[in-house]
Amino acid sequence: MTTYLFPASTAIESFRDAGYRDTSMALAELVDNSIQAEADNIRILAIEENVSVQRTVANVGSLAVYDDGHGMAPDVLEICLAFAQGTRLNTRSGIGRFGVGLPLASISQCKRVTAYSWQKGKCFTTHLDIDEVKKSGQQMTNDVKECEIPGEILRHLDVPVKEQGSLIVWEDCDRLDLRRTNTLVKRMEASFCRIYRHFLDDDNTYGRKRDIRILIVKPDADKVEIVKLLPNDPLYLMTPHNLPGFENEATNEAYGEVQKIPVKYGNKGKKSVVEVRYSIIRPEIARWTRNSDTASVVDHYKTNTGISFVRAGREIDFGSFGYFNPQELPERYWGCEIRFEPELDELFGVTNNKQAVRDIDYIEREEVEQLHEGLNEDDEDFDHKIALRGELGKNFKNARKGMMARISGLKPEKGSTVVGRKTDPATQSAELAGQNFKNDPTKTKTKVEKDTVPDEEQDAKLKDMLIQEHGNDLSDDELNRIVEEIKLTGVTIIEKAWPGNQFYTIERPGEIMTIALNAQHPFQAELYDKICKGTDTQEALAMNLFLIAAARAEDELWDDKSQEILEEFREKWGGWIKKLLTQLNNS
């Protein structure tokens, strides 16, 4: 007896939880296909639904992606909505490959996806409907049928429809992370401008330029708003660029030569090259304080604090990866881009939805040497991924040392914050609250317990917490300096991760009241990060003060009975927040 490996009527619902971070990242799969199809023009249409006259905010009813690429022949269209049936499963060139993007991305956001494609003016279509699959037990893809080019949607385009192209339409969009048009479009714009920057700038040497725009189609007045995407380059070397006030000039300059790291991969020891590029801010552009005149530069650079991993011209991941402390202001003013080709996907741990690299965090060169002691790179037990991480860490560490020396030598504006001092909202909030707490004579649990921890042990615990949060990239001098800053305020906010419902807890390494935020709780991603890890706003300060005030109130209820009640309260409160936020995201 044989049976289906994946009974479609039940499996398709589980396939919907494909792990896309948000609607923008799901749409990116469709844009990838358009770029792979050599399209010159790509349009993402946010089609608003009819709403009552009382509504002041418009919602997205359906989404579509049009491109004027080479189109799909009927036999290709027949498999485009089947899972793991792509035409590029075994290729290692270009932006595509995995063969799961279109169907998985689509059903993660909507219940019905329709694909149209035409060549020489002859159009064909097919579709995938979740309700149909579940109701009928459908196991095979739907037939491909000849049809008219879908003019009802394409009439909204700002470019002529060519004799070849494709249109993917998402209907019954029940899983969009954001339904309000303006909010969703802003998030799409922010994501796409950085992800596809190498296809948006004027330089065609690494990614041929494409015209990518978002069209907002109004429901009644037949009106279309057009959002043209400009590149957002964290190296700040591209033109044009979406940095306000500097759209047509590079505000960074290249730092050093392009670093080329030879790597081996696969069982047969094939060879490839990883390229690493660095940049540093021009002295006249650097801003050390945030006010009405400098906010646009300061905020823009802050959102681009990190290392960018770029695969075949398309950004896959961005972050600190344990290489540095992103909360330090000078870290904003250098850039790092790591380029690799699809042949290195396994080595970089690229996920099949192209949203992340995995297990590529910083590792000390000495640790690599210990792991490979007695081995050479041709041995079967030699770990090429560990070797790559060691080379990247060594390369970055050397470059960062020089870049930070240059940045530290830049002259701040008169009356500005000292270079190197932490200026993130959590630190500013701690400084503001800490002085008030120190002047308040109220008895607290922290004061009661402080004498039980010697100063040396307190400093050691603080350093351990900082290393756990930021990795091993902080030097001893930096660790000591940050510890002294924390001791001056007596309050600090850190990030940790633990199972359970509490989204924060309080730790007391000596006389420091420490608020630990739970990175595994949805409060962190859905509220705290969105408010506090963008720009240095009053809202970010207010959020941190809210948490510090709650922790202080608990600290003043210092007896054991009160602490037990508060522990239970945090568990129940956090549980309800988790439940309600989950429902909000699914509504």
Residue ranges of domains in the chain, CATH in brackets: 8-228 (3.30.565.10), 252-408 (no CATH), 425-586 (no CATH)
Tokens 């009802």 sit at which residue? 152
Reading phi first (left if > 0) and then psi (alpha if -120 to 50, else beta), residue 487 is in alpha
Across 444-452, average pLDDT: 84
Overall pTM > 0.85: no
Q: What is the pLDDT of residue 452?
A: 80
Q: What is the pLDDT of residue 468?
A: 76
- Residue 89: which pLDDT band, with cuts at 50, 70 and 90? very low
Indicate the pairing of strand 314-319 with strand 224-228: unpaired
Tell me the per-residue pLDDT of 557-585, one tens digit each, with 9 for 90 and over. 988 899 999 999 999 999 999 889 887 76
Tell me the per-residue pLDDT of 359-396, one tens digit each, with 9 for 90 and over. 999 988 778 778 777 777 777 778 889 989 999 999 99
Q: Which two tokens stand for residue 305?
A: 């604090």
Q: What is the pLDDT of residue 414?
A: 45
Q: What is the pLDDT of residue 344?
A: 95
DSSP symbol at 451: G
pLDDT at 533 > cutoff 80? no
- Residue 301: which pLDDT band, with cuts at 50, 70 and 90? very high
Query: Could you give the CA distance from residue 214 to residue 186 in angstroms, rounded to a whole number?
Result: 10
Q: What is the pLDDT of residue 415?
A: 40
Q: What is the pLDDT of residue 319?
A: 93
Q: Which of 239-253, 277-291, 347-361, 569-583 has the highest mean pLDDT?
A: 239-253
Do 65 and 321 touch, CB atoms closer than 8 A?
Answer: no
Q: What is the pLDDT of residue 412?
A: 53
Query: Could you give the CA distance from residue 440 to residue 421 in angstroms, rounded to a whole number?
Result: 26
Q: What is the pLDDT of residue 418?
A: 35
Least confident window among 132-136, 533-537, 571-575, 578-582 = 533-537
Q: Which amino acid is at 480?
A: N
pLDDT at 217 > cutoff 50? yes
Query: Could you give the CA distance from residue 12 to residue 129 in angstroms, rounded to a whole number?
Result: 10
Least confident window among 57-71, 239-253, 471-485, 508-522 = 471-485
Q: What is the pLDDT of residue 98?
A: 41
Higher model confidence: residue 80 or residue 529?
80
Q: Phi/psi at 168 (nearest 5 deg)?
A: -110, 130
Across 31-39, average pLDDT: 96
